[in-house]
Amino acid sequence: MRAFDFSPLFRSTVGFDRLFDMLDQGVADTQSYPPYNIERTDENHYRITVAVAGFAEKDLNVEVREGVLSILGKREDGEKTDKQGFLYHGIAGRAFDRRFQLAENVEVRGAKLENGLLHVDLERVVPEEKKPRRIAINGPELRTIEGKAKAA
């Protein structure tokens, strides 16, 4: 992956340093475990689905802090597994910490674990002051001004 140098943009922008940091992290993110999907179910609803095979509810922690959704997984019995009995060990049960930067006004509505998949439902809640509103166009009433022009 290529690294981008955003320093020339710092000369003409103010307050975007956090955005540039996020872009740097996104470019450098090579983490692939656990696999996940992000889907848009309608205009304001999203779902993140994370494959967490082998993890129970007690092994998972989902939290939101300062606009970052964190999904942590750590199996309590993960270290106790006897690896000598396996002929092939293909199901990863290692600890993970997957983070998602949430956009402004996106809130977590719930999470559920079913069939080895953790579903996290999100909703974009637009405040009333940011919703588009229709402005009625009422033209001024036309009035006739009566009078006589002064003779020059």
Q: What is the pLDDT of residue 122?
A: 93
Distances (CA, A) of 137 to 102, 103, 134, 144: 37, 34, 9, 22
What domains appear along the chain, each with residue ranges and CATH number? 1-30 (no CATH), 34-130 (2.60.40.790)
pLDDT by residue for the chain (152 residues), tens only, comes to 456 666 666 555 555 666 666 666 655 555 678 899 999 999 889 999 999 988 999 999 999 998 899 999 998 765 555 566 788 877 777 899 999 988 888 999 999 999 999 999 999 988 888 778 888 787 666 666 676 766 66
Element (H, E) at 26: helix 17-28
The predicted model scores a pTM of: 0.64
